[in-house]
Structure 1
Amino acid sequence: MNIDHEIDKLGLLIQKGEEILKYSYEYFSKEYSIIPDEIRVAISLYEKVIENIDGVFILLENASERCALSITRDLFENMLYLKFIMNDKYFKERALSYYYSYLKDNLSHIEMLLSNGDKGLRIRKYMKKERSDESYKELERRRESIKKIMKKKKFREIKSEWYRVRDGKMKEKNIKTYFPKWYETFEGSENIRKLAISCDFVAEYDMLYGAYSRQVHSTNAMEDLGINRLRTYHDPQEALFVTRSFGLVAIHYYIEFFLRELCEQFSNWVYENDFHKR
């Protein structure tokens, strides 16, 4: 395997992904005076996929394939999220559920930073900041802005569905509290493995996800016991193959759902550049 050649091909995939991203913005800007939030969510997730591939590319160029495998975990999740929301029946609802969850997480984080509880006080002490600092005043303004957005009419159905899933799970599991993940709503899945099953990626999950999680959480340090040079290629084939595979799949799903006029062109490009071969 010519590693440099395969890394260059990954660079080609990034370029193609960025071309499609640019085309998306131009296409939707012409289609809408203001791009709807659900489409913005899909574009953002697609952009995250391309960023993940780019991150792997940079690390592999520097012979850091173990670190690259950590990013492939994020890539796998973002690919699943993108596949999950691009659903003919529930596209808008699932995308807005993702957006609402993003807002909710941001609000919770800001509330923690602004709080006078142990966490807030400890963080401000660590950062050598006072509650009266301008940066915290900006956080207060951000908090009010998020609250205002979350009260919008478009999120009513999202909140109702969230409560429906929550109450159902509490009854099913006989527990007093439950916090649904955004991808549990609108006929979604309880966890990443079940999401992978529903998206037809269970083999990839079973084979790769656990290993990547160990890489992320640094529970695999003993694998490198011994004297090894840090920036020396060991076996980058796995990182190259899965990144390329997940990237191609994500781009294919994205254009098939939004930009069908590009499908034939993309298929030809895949074959012209030998991406159909392992």
Structure 2
Amino acid sequence: MSSAAMHIARTGLDAQDMRMRVISNNLANVNTTGFKKDRASFATLAYQTVTAAGAQSTAESKYATGLNLGTGVKIQGTARIDTAGSMQTTGNSLDLALDGEGYFQVQMPGGTTGYTRAGNFSRSAEGLLVTSDGYQVQPGITVPQGATGITIGTDGTVSATIAGQTEPQSLGQIQVATFPNAAGLQSKGDNYLVETAASGAANVGVAGQDGRGNVRQGELEASNVNTVEELVDMIECQRAYEVNSKMISASDDMLKYVNQNI
């Protein structure tokens, strides 16, 4: 029994170690634009049935309850928490935030489409609207040389005043993508997500319509990590790790006692 308890406690150590990694990643990204925190989900390992409930205890009676022994715990997965972060005003005309559901689209290397909540965009040498990594925002928006007074409406419409013209010229429209199951998107790092079979196909359309968020110019969405909550979770995780470690020590002492006295 003691060796089995040691094995169970070991699974607890592994699970709490992975949970601590999730918490530390959340805290590391507390200032990352548009970052969404993760939560570790636990699941029990297979149970060993010693006595099945309803089995015959005698010729005339049955066990009302069975005897099932658990074999430990595992990390079942990580769930991304998509609650909105606070809006931070920057005053930069190319800083954008989404007030509501959805993601900006960018063209990543290899032609794949990436999705992000980080709208800290800039203008390339060719006048293209790009991310800080140089990935082009989709659909492509080109800002002509000498354009001033760039305005981006809540529906994503981009316009600017061109030299020699009195009326602002429309340059295109930034579209927003939503997903049937946004939690199924796969994180690729650098604030980018990619579509998976679990997320479903992207539903691309105009910002502010069909449940999509509005575009906010001159603002950025902050991380939704709550430092206090993460620190409390970290302490809880540490205590759980210590308890599992003590269980291994206690099981080891029990085995020592048996070997020395029996």
Q: What TM-score comes out, normalization by structure 2 length?
A: 0.28
Q: Higher helix share goes to which structure?
A: 1
Q: Higher strand share goes to which structure?
A: 2
Q: Which has the larger radius of gyration?
A: 2
